[in-house]
């Protein structure tokens, strides 16, 4: 709520009237999504390779092909299509895997690069798995780990949705590391989650509820939770080595001597 670039929670998005494609906030969101698509494609391919290693999957030389094929499908995505009727959703059609349909309310509600990347990466991961469902073993392994640590029931489509969310958060986190800023790390990282910070925590057969999605993601990767709980100083520590004058103690000393 304090972040001017904070994402609107999806339950709040759901209560809003539909937005025309020409709405200025929706247009700004569409431009943001298009600008970030090439970067996000690379981040998603990297995250999938990383997860395949972490979960010790597709390791035999012959079996590595699914990961390469997934990366190639991600690389082929070309277009963001703003859509009024999709409202607060984004989706992909696997028979037309070069386009991401993006509701105009959703485009307008994701006001940061970090928030946009997490959602774009989620959709790209569906495309990465493709009609062949080639990332299914990975999704199941991720879901098993999350279920064991949370007690949540995560099977079928829920496993895929959670896997896509995990890639989304990993992509946003990698983007934050590549683009240092003075903003606190915890604030930037929160933008990858906060569309799920709902009051109305509804779930369905295909998705964990938004709050349980956040719980599961933190349970899968505890370092994520600790970064999120860190104060601003750890965000600054990433950028300190790149800057020529950064030591507040020196400023204090010079003030005292004057
Ligand atoms: Zn999805």
Locate the DSSP E strands across 74-188: 79-83, 90-91, 99-103
Count the neighbouring beta carbons within 10 Å of the beta carbon of residue 218.
20
What's this model's pTM, rounded to 2 decimal places? Answer: 0.88
Distance separating alpha carbons of residues 88 and 107, to the nearest angstrom: 8
Cα 2 to ligand 1 centroid, rounded to whole Å? 28
| pLDDT band of 12, cuts 50, 70, 90 | very high
pLDDT digits (tens, 9 = 90+) for 62-104: 666 889 999 999 999 999 999 999 999 999 999 889 999 999 9
Distance 122 CA to ligand 1 centre (A): 6
What is the rounded average pLDDT of the residues 2-29? 96
Report the pLDDT averaged over residues 141-159: 97
Q: What is the pLDDT of residues 30-72, one digit of tens each?
A: 999 999 999 999 999 999 999 999 999 887 766 668 899 999 9
> Separation of 57 CA from ligand 1 center, angstroms?
22
Cα of 118 from ligand 1 centre, angstroms: 11
Question: CB–CB of 127/73 below 8 Å?
Answer: yes
Query: In the structure encoding, which two tokens stand for residue 257, read together?
Result: 């001597």
């Amino acid at each position: 709520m304090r972040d001017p670039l904070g994402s609107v929670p999806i339950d709040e998005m759901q209560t809003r009237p539909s937005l025309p494609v020409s709405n200025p906030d929706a247009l700004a969101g569409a431009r943001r999504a298009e600008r970030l698509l090439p970067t996000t494609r690379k981040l998603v391919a990297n995250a999938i390779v990383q997860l395949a290693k972490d979960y010790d999957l597709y390791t035999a030389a012959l079996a590595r092909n699914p990961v390469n094929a997934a990366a190639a499908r991600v690389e082929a995505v070309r277009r963001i299509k703003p859509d009024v009727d999709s409202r607060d959703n984004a989706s992909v059609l696997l028979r037309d895997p070069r386009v991401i349909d993006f509701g105009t309310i959703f485009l307008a509600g994701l006001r940061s690069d970090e928030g946009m990347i997490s959602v774009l990466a989620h959709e790209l991961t569906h495309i990465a798995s493709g009609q062949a469902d080639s990332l299914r073993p990975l999704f199941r392994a991720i879901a098993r780990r999350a279920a064991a640590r949370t007690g949540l029931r995560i099977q079928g489509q829920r496993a895929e949705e959670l896997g896509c969310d995990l890639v989304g958060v990993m992509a946003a986190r990698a983007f934050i590391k590549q683009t240092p800023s003075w903003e606190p790390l915890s604030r930037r990282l929160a933008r990858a989650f906060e569309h799920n910070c709902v009051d109305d925590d509804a779930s369905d057969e295909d998705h964990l509820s938004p709050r349980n999605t956040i719980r599961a993601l933190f349970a899968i990767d505890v370092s994520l939770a600790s970064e999120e709980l860190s104060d601003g100083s750890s965000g600054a520590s990433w950028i300190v080595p790149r800057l020529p004058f950064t030591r507040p103690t020196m400023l204090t000393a010079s003030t005292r001597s004057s």
